Structure 1
Amino acid sequence: MTLSGITVVAAAAVSWSAATDNLVPTNNYYVGCLEGMSNGTVCKTDNASVTYYMDSGGDDKLEDIDKATVRTVMAQQYAPTDLSISYDSSPSWSGSTETDIYYAEATVPGSDQGLTWCNDDSPGNYKCDQQYVRIEGGGHYTPGLTCHETGHAVGLLHGQNASPTLPNQSPTLGCMKKATGFADELGSNNKENINGNY
């Protein structure tokens, strides 16, 4: 359009809002972060600089193929978000520089193949200083399940806890579907929630 010799170009509005809020807390999930494998709470990591370590010895050791899966998921799914992802080859288990996510391979209670829990919560909020991810061996360290459990470690929820709620198998949830597919990726909704919170 031209007004008095000035050309005006109308730009289309761009919306970057996620389809649903599925990062703690939500209107449908406001349980505070609790420590321990049996507490079943989902917590956010305590800051945007996320360090991770993969068990390299003993009974909980990840095989080379599982380590490669974790590295690929962290580099291709989480590093492109506003999180700063780095591997911690000398993990810290206490203090202000604790390694944020510890990956192990071991049996998971119940019928699930993966589990994430807080090992060191920050009382009074939804954050955790150090989280443990345990995935069973025998081929269960898939890209989809690794993405899913890492999602819980940064605070992502299933669809039933999102606001507005979504079916737990909604494709909008990407790798945060309750029953995760082998190669499920993080997806745009989860990335927008991460970027909006970190």
Structure 2
Amino acid sequence: MMYTKEDIVKLDRVTKLKIINSVTGIKPANLIGTINNKGQTNLAIFSSVVHLGSDPALLGFIARPRTAEVGHTYRNILENGTYTINHIHPEFVKNAHYTSAKFDVDISEFERCKLTEEYITNFKAPFVKESSFKIGMRFVEAIDIKHNGTTLIIGEIEHLILPDNAMIDGDIDLETTNAVGISGLNSYYSLKKIENHPYARLNKMPEFE
């Protein structure tokens, strides 16, 4: 099977969304938690969180074009400069999935989807209590992507909370943390570690057959 650009353009909206959201393979499934200056919380599922650099520790994610119905995450981040990224685990995949519905701003996805707000001292944004792997972020900058109206949100890690047994020989073992991956709009995957290799150096290259 092969799709040309013309074939893709002709697809109906939902089919196109599902296919193009799947072509990069399995992506991390995360819940991003925010709060506005009125104290209204928001929780939304994202599959676009990416590593941008380690020193400083930067992560990015893509925010969709803002409308009256969507964009609460971005608006809240701009208001107070903090947000959280929370890994999703099998026990609450269904709850996490339905945070993608277009709730009104005065309805908290935490409450509606039965997930629990959790706070730490001197950090405004809510974490997801049910998640064992969570990251507290400070907003750094936003880069508009003019071609489709989306925005790359960049933040720096201020807090990293993960299980003690997740660190194995200096690496984070995502199988141990029971992290969940996502493909397309609604397909979720468990992660299984296949292999582990040393840092690649030219003077220690193996011979390939």
TM range (shorter): under 0.3
TM-score (ref. length: structure 2): 0.26
TM-score, normalization by structure 1:
0.27
